């Protein structure tokens, strides 16, 4: 399952909390790792490397998983942000996002306070717009999506219910 959505909506915090609560491995967002290593603004040339790193991290996570794997974003995020920042996304990434579509997406709404994070986050005023881009991409993929809104406690409760339902479905 994937936690997904605009910047500063609690994805990483919730991924870590769910992983600890459910004793499941989680995979961090590779784009953050890439940006930390690069120490310069991302460009269109970084998109494919980010996608390859995300895929490798997910594959490694699947080897550790026993039923549930929690992803702090996936290729859908790479696709949405490539389109948003650079106007397009390499076709192989879009195809891989379709093929590797997760069983569940927890879509974080931008109804929580913005938290500054240096170079990692740069568009607080665009969160509603970017949320719409995520909604459109997930709908186009036919992804099973559950909306996470409200307080951190409400998000955790909704997420746990959605995961329990996913795990109980044959």
| pLDDT tens sequence across 135-151 | 999 999 999 999 999 99
pLDDT in tens, 26-76: 999 999 899 889 888 889 999 999 999 999 999 999 999 988 999 999 999
For the range 154-159, what are the long-range contacts, defined as Cβ-Cβ under 8 Å and sequence gap of 24 or more? 155/10, 155/14, 155/108, 156/14, 156/17, 156/18, 156/21, 158/106, 159/3, 159/14, 159/18, 159/106
Contacts of residue 58, Cβ cutoff 8 Å, sequence gap at least 6:
27, 69, 71, 74, 100
H or E segment to which residue 152 belongs:
helix 152-168
Q: What residues does 2 pair with on adjacent strands?
A: 71, 105
Q: Catalogue all structural domains in the chain, each as residue range(s) with its CATH number.
A: 2-168 (3.40.50.300)
The average confidence (pLDDT) of the chain is: 92
Predicted pLDDT at 117: 67
Distance CA 140, CA 132 (A): 12
């Amino acid at each position: 399952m994937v936690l997904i959505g605009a910047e500063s909506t609690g994805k990483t915090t919730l991924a870590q909390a769910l992983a600890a609560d459910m004793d499941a491995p989680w995979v961090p967002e590779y784009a953050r790792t890439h940006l930390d290593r690069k120490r310069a603004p991302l460009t269109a040339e970084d998109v494919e490397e980010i996608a390859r790193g995300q895929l490798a991290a997910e594959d490694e996570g699947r080897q550790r998983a026993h039923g549930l794997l929690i992803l702090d974003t996936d290729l859908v995020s790479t696709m949405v942000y490539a389109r948003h920042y650079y106007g397009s996304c390499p076709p192989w990434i879009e195809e891989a996002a379709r093929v590797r579509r997760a069983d569940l997406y927890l879509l974080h709404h931008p109804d929580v306070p913005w938290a500054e994070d240096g170079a990692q986050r740069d568009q607080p005023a665009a969160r509603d717009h970017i949320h719409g881009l995520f909604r459109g991409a997930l709908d186009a993929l036919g992804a099973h999506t559950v909306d996470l809104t409200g307080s951190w406690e409400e998000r955790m409760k909704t997420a746990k219910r959605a995961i329990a339902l996913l795990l109980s479905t044959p």
